[in-house]
Amino acid sequence: MITRRTALGAGLALTAVASTAGFSAYARAASGAGGVIDALLIDETMDIPSPVAALIEARPRTVPVVGISLDAAAHERLMLVLGGSRTIAGISSGATLFCVERLGWDHGFRLTARREQRVDDPIGDAFRGDAAAFLAGSSAAAGSPALVRAYRPSRADGVLHAWVMQKSDRPQFRQNRGEA
Amino acid sequence: MKLPPNVSQADFTAALKEFASIVGDQWLFTSDDDLDLYRDSYSPLWGQSDERTASAAVAPDNADEVVALVKVANRYRIPIYPISTGKNLGYGGAAPATSGSVVFDLKRMNRIVEIDERNAYVVVEPGVSYFDLYDYIQKKGLKLWIDCPSPGWGSPLGNALDGGVGVTLAPYRSHFDAQCGIEVVLPDGTMMRTGMGAMPGAQTWQQFKPGFGPRIDGLFKQSNYGVVTKMGFWLMPPPENFATGVVTVPRFHDIIPMVDAIGRLEQAKIVQGLWSLSSPTTGTAAFAAHGTEPQPTDPKVVALLHAPGGVDMNKLDVAANAAGIPFWAANFNFYGPKKFIEAQWECIKDSLGQIPGAGFKLNDIRSLPLPPEEVANMQDLGPLGIPTLRTFSLGPMISYEGEDVTGHIFFSPVIPRTGEAAIEAMELFAGIARKYNLPCPPLQFPTAIFERAFLFAVGLPVTRSVTVNAKIRDILKELVGIAAARGWGEYRTAPAFYELIMGTYSYNDHALLGFLESIKDAVDPNGIMSPGRYAIWPHHLRDTTA
């Protein structure tokens, strides 16, 4: 198992990219380089098993990795990612997915693919294969009917979810207006 | 397409067309895929024929569009259901109180209309979330704090209208009481402002709550008399320091003098920060979000806590006392200048020191803001006025009756602020929990969120099983009946229980509900505004829902 700290040590840049140079520009650059996933969201609130960390590390180098958690600082980062992306993939707990999915709705996102795996079990081929496909931006995997798409909210702990969300044509509710 | 009750297909189609002409086609939602987003994830009626679902949703951009939409709805007698961010899970979410209603989704209206640092207030639209407001204050560097409930994605306006509460200082914790000035679109499309806002060009709308004449703001809390489009709130200045302090008392029945003593300090406005109960003996805290209590290790205490028939408090009291474990702890939050915190602590020691065996520990008085790395590792940021969603990552991670728990509903009675009532409620509700094998600690505690009464919030699990959810609804009904028999009423509930709870407020042949219905008939004769919300029905739907 690795935590965020060890993930960082392993070279996984859980960046605050969104809060620095501007996530949108980064995402556009990633898309322009041929990437399908605009950002990979990694849950900072749970341990990431080593095989999954390896998958993350093997992602296309153009895809920014953004750490997410359920606090105010991460929320601002997440808003930038959701506002500036068309397709995002994530590795997270169910609780984080539950929240990101609902926040994503307000930006026109829908969950299009998901695979789950108990953290305490050895990472299975199915999870590994789908997670790798999600991270590579494989639309074939993302569209597989065999995958359980809709996330049923659960309080079950110790489950790792790999998922993809894509922005639909639905208009975005969130507008950064600030003071009127 | 689902139709609103008592509305023809032709009228509904015509109304939707007019809605679209006001907001633009893209902001009218009628597909199943879109309307799925307005289901209540925590509904105890999920998947059943009586689950409350929308027929359509429309999302205006501003108050003028709300006025135009309401006029159309009123003309076609279309029931509408305004939501702010629609994320008050456990209390209905984005789902309407009456199936077939058109949801007025106000998330696009997310303007911070005015914020005044000097006089510490803000005026917001419904779509502004606690996160939005917090971020705005931080970015502008304003010397202001907000009081937020556990999930930060909620709307200050929506939370206040729902009767929501926070966890900082007493004057700000009751969010409706902290509001000052409402702008509301009435069911006939009239725009009205309450309080000083009724005066054109008012300079004190957010500074003087009573206004002139009757104070009617409360009519818009937990009701259905209008679409609130703006609301002002009093904010708090950022405190200089924060500290926690713990007072322990040794015996089970010491809770009685302890609650009395703290109550006097609160009534005198000496204690204003939220305090909470915990028990070193049972290893339970009032707020799970405040962290977990150390678990008792004394073998006799542990054995008594796990007795098959439930915990005998008298035996536990004796065993804990013999082991030198205090039965109760009161955990205080302090805010303000260091000398003010120290003075508060001295008053607490003077008062609670009258209880034999009381122990006192004031933790470090910390200068605010705390270092970011420390904040990042704290489980509960509410006491620091920082919104989070961390409550969703908390336990209990459970299943119930073999079904995955997908959410919760609350049984939330308000009980007297006395130790006697606390003991009675704790033992009563623990007995129900044992009876139905509900996941809960040996004792669950009331909280002191309200200024003068205890709130005894009990979360009940919701699943996706029709059978198990029916059982949970029956348990809640039993709890409500038990509480009502003692004169304890709920302060808030999920839509599935509006009638049940309103039925307990039955003094003088339901005189209160009769009055509310009279107002409903007067201001909303066509019954379009959130019919059934908090059991207030328009006249043409009353007979069918009795």
Is A75 at the interface with chain B, CB within 8 A? yes
The total number of structural domains that make up chain A: 1
CATH superfamily, region B241-368: FAD-linked oxidases, C-terminal domain (3.40.462.10)
Every domain range in chain B assigned CATH 3.30.43.10: 9-105
pTM of the model: 0.92
Topology (CATH level 3) of domain B399-498: Vanillyl-alcohol Oxidase; Chain A, domain 3 (3.40.462)
Structure tokens at B421: 């009532």
Is B133:B156 a contact under the CB 8 Å cutoff?
yes
Residue numbers in B near A45 (CB within 8 A) = 393
Q: What is the C-alpha R_g of chain A?
A: 15
C-alpha to C-alpha distance for B273 and B543, rounded to whole angstroms: 46
Is B279:B446 a contact under the CB 8 Å cutoff?
no
C-alpha to C-alpha distance for B49 and A17, rounded to whole angstroms: 47
Every domain range in chain B assigned CATH 3.40.462.10: 241-368, 399-498
* Interface test with chain A among B392, B405, B463, by most A beta carbons within 10 Å: B392
Structure tokens at A159: 């489950």
Domain presence at residue A180? no
The dotted CATH code for B9-105 is 3.30.43.10
Residue numbers in A near B28 (CB within 8 A) = none
Residue A103 lies in domain: 4-167
Is A85:A148 a contact under the CB 8 Å cutoff?
no
Residues of chain B with pLDDT > 70, as a percent, come to: 96
Among the listed residues B442, B487, B440, B423, the one whose alpha carbon sits nearest the alpha carbon of residue B259: B423
Q: Which residue is closest to A98 within chain B, CA to CA?
A: B392
Please, what is the average pLDDT of chain B? 94
Convert the pLDDT of each residue in B14-42 to its tens digit: 999 999 999 999 999 999 999 999 999 99
For residue B282, count other CB atoms closer than 10 A to its CB: 25
Domain presence at residue A90? yes
Q: pLDDT value at position B274?
A: 96
Among the listed residues B13, B125, B149, B133, the one whose alpha carbon sits nearest the alpha carbon of residue B59: B125
- So what CATH class is B507-545? mainly alpha
Q: Which residue is closest to B124 within chain A, CA to CA?
A: A179
Cβ pair B113:A105 closer than 8 A: no
Domain presence at residue A45? yes
Domain presence at residue A139? yes
For residue A153, pLDDT beyond 70: no
Is B266:B174 a contact under the CB 8 Å cutoff?
no
Q: pLDDT value at position B163?
A: 96
Per-residue pLDDT band for A32 (boundaries 50, 70, 90) equals: very low
Cβ pair A71:B115 closer than 8 A: no
Cβ pair B389:A173 closer than 8 A: no
Convert the pLDDT of each residue in B482-534 to its tens digit: 999 999 999 999 999 999 999 999 999 999 999 999 999 999 999 999 999 99
Which of B27, B388, B395 minimises the CB distance to A72? Answer: B388
H or E stretch at A112? strand A109-118
Among the listed residues B498, B503, B504, the one whose alpha carbon sits nearest the alpha carbon of residue B486: B504
Cβ pair B387:A75 closer than 8 A: yes
Mean pLDDT for the stretch of residues B460-484: 96
Domain presence at residue A115? yes
Q: What are phi and psi of B29, to 5 degrees?
A: -120, 125
Interface predicted TM-score (ipTM): 0.91
Convert the pLDDT of each residue in B275-315 to its tens digit: 999 999 988 876 544 455 677 788 899 999 888 878 888 99
| Least confidently predicted of B232-246, B374-388, B391-405 | B391-405
DSSP strand pairing (B403-404 vs B399-400)? antiparallel
What region, left, alpha or beta, does residue B219 occupy, with left being phi > 0 and alpha being psi -120 to 50 degrees? alpha
Domain presence at residue A125? yes
Which of B152, B398, B404 minimises the CB distance to A72? Answer: B152
Per-residue pLDDT band for B395 (boundaries 50, 70, 90) equals: low
Who's near B115: CB < 8 A, 6+ residues apart?
A: A179, B121, B122, B123, B136, B137, B140, B142, B144
Which of A72, A105, A178 minimises the CB distance to B134? Answer: A72
- In angstroms, the Cα distances linking B417 to B257, B280, B332, B414, B451 are 11, 21, 16, 9, 9
Structure tokens at A91: 């590795």
Mean pLDDT for the stretch of residues B415-442: 89
Convert the pLDDT of each residue in B306-340 to its tens digit: 888 788 889 999 999 999 999 999 999 999 999 99
Instruction: Give the side-chain half-sphere CA count within 13 A for B425.
Output: 29
Which of A75, A106, A156 minimises the CB distance to B107? Answer: A106
The dotted CATH code for B112-234 is 3.30.465.10
* Interface test with chain A among B397, B405, B465, by most A beta carbons within 10 Å: B397
